[in-house]
């Protein structure tokens, strides 16, 4: 009987091993099912977490976009303002330069009147000897006048001659 007892023991051990194997197989199946459920739960939680984060970021992105648009508008107005100020300064400088260097209408009229008067005076002087060619002559540097020798000699003492150009 020792063989029979041993066979019974082996049979009992095999039966226990089969039961344990079945239990391990069942546990593995349960573990696999739990892993699959856990994987789904983790994926769903990650998806929800990502959606919430993206929704939060969407609001931040929209706000940042509005800030960028506002900055662009401000930059455009600022540049326009700067260009307008530069143009205004250029106009003011030009007006100051013109008023500084260009005579006024009254000054130009006065200069025209003075020019007319000077031209009349020059014409009068030319008629009365203003074209005389005058120089300094002799060792004493006395005043002398250019004369026309071929025009003749005049006066009782012959001391007059016609000035050159008349």
Average pLDDT over every residue of 144-158: 84
How far is it, in rounded angstroms, from Cα 73 to Cα 94?
31
Strands (E), 9-159: 134-137, 142-145, 153-154
- pLDDT for residue 115: 95
Q: Is residue 37 classed exposed, middle or buried when 0-12, 13-18 and 19+ CB atoms within 10 A define those classes?
A: exposed
Quickly state the pLDDT bin for 131 (edges 50, 70, 90): confident
Q: What per-residue string of b and e applies to 84-104 under the rule 16 or more CB within 10 Å gives b?
A: eeeeeeeeeeeeeeeeeeeee
164 pLDDT more than 90? no
Three-class SS string for 82-120? Answer: HHHHHHHHHHHHHHHHHHHHCCCHHHHHHHHHHHHHHHH
Predicted confidence (pLDDT) per residue in 48-65, tens digit: 888 888 888 888 888 989
> Residue 7 has which token pair?
């066979």
pTM of the model: 0.36
- pLDDT for residue 109: 95
Of 140, 144, 141, nearest to 132 by C-alpha is 144
> Residue 72 has which token pair?
């662009």
Predicted confidence (pLDDT) per residue in 4-27, tens digit: 888 888 888 888 888 989 999 999
pLDDT-above-70 percentage for the chain: 99
- 165, 132 in Cβ contact below 8 A? yes
48 by DSSP, 3-state: which? helix
- pLDDT for residue 1: 57
Backbone angles phi, psi at 142, to 5 degrees: -85, 160
Average pLDDT over every residue of 24-37: 91
47 pLDDT more than 80? yes
Place of tokens 């005058």: 134
Predicted confidence (pLDDT) per residue in 98-121, tens digit: 888 888 889 899 999 999 999 999
Average pLDDT over every residue of 125-142: 84
């Amino acid at each position: 009987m020792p063989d029979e007892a041993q066979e019974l023991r082996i049979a009992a051990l095999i039966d226990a091993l089969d039961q344990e194997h079945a239990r391990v197989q069942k546990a593995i199946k349960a573990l696999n099912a739990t892993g699959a459920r856990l994987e789904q739960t983790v994926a769903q939680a990650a998806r929800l977490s990502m959606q919430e984060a993206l929704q939060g970021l969407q609001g931040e992105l929209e706000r940042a976009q509005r800030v960028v648009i506002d900055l662009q508008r401000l930059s455009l107005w600022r540049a326009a303002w700067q260009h307008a100020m530069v143009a205004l300064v250029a106009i003011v400088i030009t007006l100051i330069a013109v008023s500084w260097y260009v005579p006024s209408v009254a000054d130009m009229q006065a200069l025209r009147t003075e020019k007319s008067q000077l031209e009349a005076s020059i014409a009068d002087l030319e008629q009365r000897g203003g074209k005389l060619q005058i120089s300094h002559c002799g060792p004493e540097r006395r005043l002398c006048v250019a004369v026309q020798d071929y025009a003749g000699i005049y006066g009782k003492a012959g001391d007059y001659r016609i000035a050159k150009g008349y």
